[in-house]
Amino acid sequence: MALSFDKALGIHQHTLGIRAKRAEVLSSNIANADTPNYKAQDVDFSQALKQASSKQRGVGLGATHQNHFSLQSSLQSQTKYRVPDQPDTGDGNTVDMQQEQAAFMENALEYQMSLGFLESKFMGLKKAIRGE
Amino acid sequence: MSLFNIFEVSGSGMSAQSVRLNTTASNIANADAVSSSVDETYRARHPVFAAEMTKASASQAQNQPSSMKVAVKGIVESDKPLIKEFSPDHPMADTDGFIYKPNVNVMEEMADMISASRTYQMNTQVADVAKNLLQQTLRMGK
């Protein structure tokens, strides 16, 4: 039986990538806190995870020609605009700094958690390889 | 790796906020710069921010959400009317005895300054967290 990294690492390799993407989107929100007409976005985690792990199982459609459209490339499926708590802040900006900060920190901790899971998986693999 | 893009994004945020802080400093410093004509008088300056889509088409192909950097589109001078004051004793007074004061509202500028410095701090924190996450990722499996 060949050792498959995909199987050994499980879902955590995908969650890590999505959390990194989410960190990027949230950091964009924070950077654009004072930009007029900027609309805050967020990543739909469960949907992004579903997409990422469906590729692993081979259910996703592959592009066999350069002119094929990628079905999974639609931005809207992963990043969605936030529904603002206030009707309008005056300049069309929908960034709520407190909300974004909390979400960013939460996401950072979740990233660390996923990293911890991955690390323990690697430790398990190491032990298996060494035969300890 | 998306975490690397965070440095670009929060870096652009920091530079935008420092431009804002810079214009605020100019405005407050020149708040009392009296002159004798409308043209020579200092006018309040404010930067114009806009969201900048980075590599929108490229990232769309890779199924990644695009990061939004902040771009400083330019610095505009305020159109608010200058303060015209009758003060014949003033050494800068024109022939009719008027002096012109800049259209700077110091209270607004102070509030602007605090807002800019807080947002700058937030961006540094974001970059710091991203740095820590990346370092931990690099250490993984060691």
The answer to whether B10 contacts chain A (CB < 8 Å) is yes
CA distance A20 to chain B (A): 6
The pLDDT > 90 percentage for chain B reads 68
- B16 with A31: Cβ contact below 8 A: yes
- DSSP assignment of B76-124: EE--SPPEEEE-TTSTT--TTSEEEE----HHHHHHHHHHHHHHHHHHH
Rounded to two decimals, the ipTM of the complex is 0.83
Nearest to B123 among A16, A24, A30 (CB): A30
**Range with the lowest mean pLDDT among A42-46, A85-89, B51-55?**
B51-55
Nearest to A31 among B12, B20, B66 (CB): B12
CA distance A1 to chain B (A): 23
pLDDT value at B59 more than 50: no
- A73 with B60: Cβ contact below 8 A: yes
Report the C-alpha gap between B12 and B10 in whole angstroms.
Answer: 5
The predicted pLDDT at position A50 comes to 83
Nearest to A30 among B13, B20, B66 (CB): B13
**Mutation target among A5, A18, A27, A130 for the B interface, most CBs of B within 10 A:** A27
pLDDT value at A64 more than 80: no
Tokens of B19: 């431009």
Each residue's pLDDT tens digit, A98-121:
999 999 999 999 999 999 999 998
The pLDDT > 70 percentage for chain A reads 83
Q: Average pLDDT in the B61-73 region?
A: 72
Determine the residue of chain B that is closest to A13 in CA distance.
B137
Each residue's pLDDT tens digit, A1-22:
567 777 778 888 889 989 999 9
Q: Average pLDDT in the B128-138 region?
A: 94
Each residue's pLDDT tens digit, B9-47:
999 999 999 999 999 999 999 999 999 888 889 999 999
The candidate with the shortest Cα–Cα distance to B115, out of A34, A110, A14, A50, is: A34
The predicted pLDDT at position B134 comes to 93
The predicted pLDDT at position A74 comes to 44
